[in-house]
Chain A
């Protein structure tokens, strides 16, 4: 295999992994959440045996869905923002502003990763109230999301730098 083909294969593998983590998994989480809530209603109202774990499980699935989804939103550059200032800037100034934004975002994400890891280390063994699973399974969502977001925003910063150089 040529170097070029090997590189293309790596890119495909990477893109496939990202889509699995940021698209397939959170989509499944949404559907699972739906099933859990419907199951909870059924057990409570029809069989009058409400499950103790359903509420907590649904919330935990939701939290993971939001954090993985946030990485997807960033990758698609769809984060909600008020962009009337950048839109009115000339192209080069806009690129510079967006690069400053990326640096600011990276700074926050590094702090978030630090905080997330510290919280994980402190909290991971504490059992959850209802399901009594280690809380690490929940609180890992923050550092995982921060890593994914760091990757996307580093990529977007690099793209901005390249476009500045090109001109």
Chain B
């Protein structure tokens, strides 16, 4: 009985717009009071120990590294590099947008941060070159979803800490799917460019290319340091994230001299706010998770799902459809924190690799950032560009279709995810 009240309170809280962290906390508090016999200290205990993990320290460090890179001219250098590489193809600046997001993804682990950081710059550049503003906004939102697929990735860190799998393996697993997403979107851009007559940019000379490439080398090296450090076992993901911050700081303060020391407090404060937004939800979600386990809800739901099918491929397809639907209505992190404890036992029972599932899952919930009525990237781009969401959505639909295609491709062809992590085993 109490568990139904708990789930009801959380569901009503979510739907009515109560902050996610408080909806979970309220449900748990009501449950504890109704059951009455549970040790009162459990809530505080779970809130603290739910985030007491060295791995989760990677979250603020990845945010800080991206903030520092954003503050310097790094963002501009990457854009110029992408421009030199693909600008001359039909739909030039739209391709630049995709490539720019792919490279930026190698420094940042959050789709929202990518869209907030470079989205507006991309839109303005494209609009200036004669692209329709809604198209530019939709494309910038769609390409931001690559951010957490190409490492680093905040959702993968959280998934890794919940599923107890190697974050290094998840990171490597995201490389090929991220590249596929980028290429697939460029394919679509090309088709649209030809059909709608989008402009292309002048081809740069080899000399210009070298200049731009030379300037882009430091930011291009960031993901190499990160992945190399984790892959060789030299760093844990958290340490690699701290090293990425150090690298970005040295670049910004010593090499480019674009970050004055008095900017540091402002950057740190943004990290505090963005980290606390995410991790405070993790605190109350871990109380919620404790109650779910106490009520044996994951086992009950797993039994229900395993009744439907025991075929791993069918199960993955069912879960994908389920999470795509949830992604339309729920916030990404809330989906992860609430449904992962329930789904992971199912995935394990069928012998599906947790790294494969992790990458599939993260890509799935990233699509949820684009789909209405609740799509954070859609909200964000609509807010930035002052365009109504429906207008952006019209241009966005083909990209959502392409991304869903990528999702089912990596679901059905596991080597696309597992090849790189498998190399080291």
Chains A and B come from one and the same complex = yes
Q: Which residues does A use to contact B, with CB under 8 Å? A: 23-24, 26-31, 33-34, 37-38, 40-41, 45, 55, 58-59, 62-63, 65-70, 72-73, 76, 78-87, 97, 101, 104-105, 107-108, 111-112, 114-116, 118-120, 122-123, 138-139, 141-143
Separation of A82 and B54 alpha carbons in the complex (Å): 29
A104 touches B20 (CB 8 A): no
B20 touches A122 (CB 8 A): no
B156-204 residues with Cβ-Cβ distance < 8 A to A are none
Q: Is B254 interfacial (CB 8 A cutoff)?
A: no
A34 touches B22 (CB 8 A): no
B43 touches A115 (CB 8 A): yes
A80 touches B21 (CB 8 A): yes
Query: Nearest chain-A residue to B19 (Cβ)?
Result: A79
**Contacting residues, chain B, for A27 (C-beta < 8 A):** 265, 268-269, 271-272
Separation of A67 and B283 alpha carbons in the complex (Å): 9
B43 touches A72 (CB 8 A): no
Q: Is B15 interfacial (CB 8 A cutoff)?
A: yes
A78 touches B273 (CB 8 A): yes
**Contacting residues, chain B, for A68 (C-beta < 8 A):** 272, 276
**Contacting residues, chain B, for A72 (C-beta < 8 A):** 272-273, 276
Other contacts beyond A119-B41, A142-B48: 18, CB < 8 A: A24-B265, A30-B268, A31-B264, A34-B61, A37-B61, A40-B239, A41-B235, A58-B54, A59-B53, A59-B57, A65-B275, A72-B273, A76-B273, A80-B333, A85-B17, A87-B17, A118-B41, A123-B41
Separation of A40 and B238 alpha carbons in the complex (Å): 11
* A31, A73, A101, A116: the one within 8 Å of B268 (CB): A31
Q: B369: shortest Cβ distance to chain A, in Å?
A: 12
Separation of A41 and B225 alpha carbons in the complex (Å): 15
Task: Contacts A34-B245, A104-B13, A138-B48 given; indicate if A69 touches B283 (C-beta within 8 A).
Answer: no
**Contacting residues, chain A, for B246 (C-beta < 8 A):** 34, 38
Query: Nearest chain-B residue to A79 (Cβ)?
Result: B19
B277 touches A59 (CB 8 A): no
* A34, A78, A79, A118: the one within 8 Å of B44 (CB): A118
Task: Contacts A73-B277, A105-B19 given; indicate if A30 touches B44 (C-beta within 8 A).
Answer: no
Task: Contacts A83-B17, A101-B17, A141-B48 given; indicate if A69 touches B280 (C-beta within 8 A).
Answer: yes
Separation of A83 and B26 alpha carbons in the complex (Å): 17
**Contacting residues, chain A, for B64 (C-beta < 8 A):** 30, 34
* B16, B21, B40, B54: the one within 8 Å of A70 (CB): B21
**Contacting residues, chain A, for B40 (C-beta < 8 A):** 114-115, 118
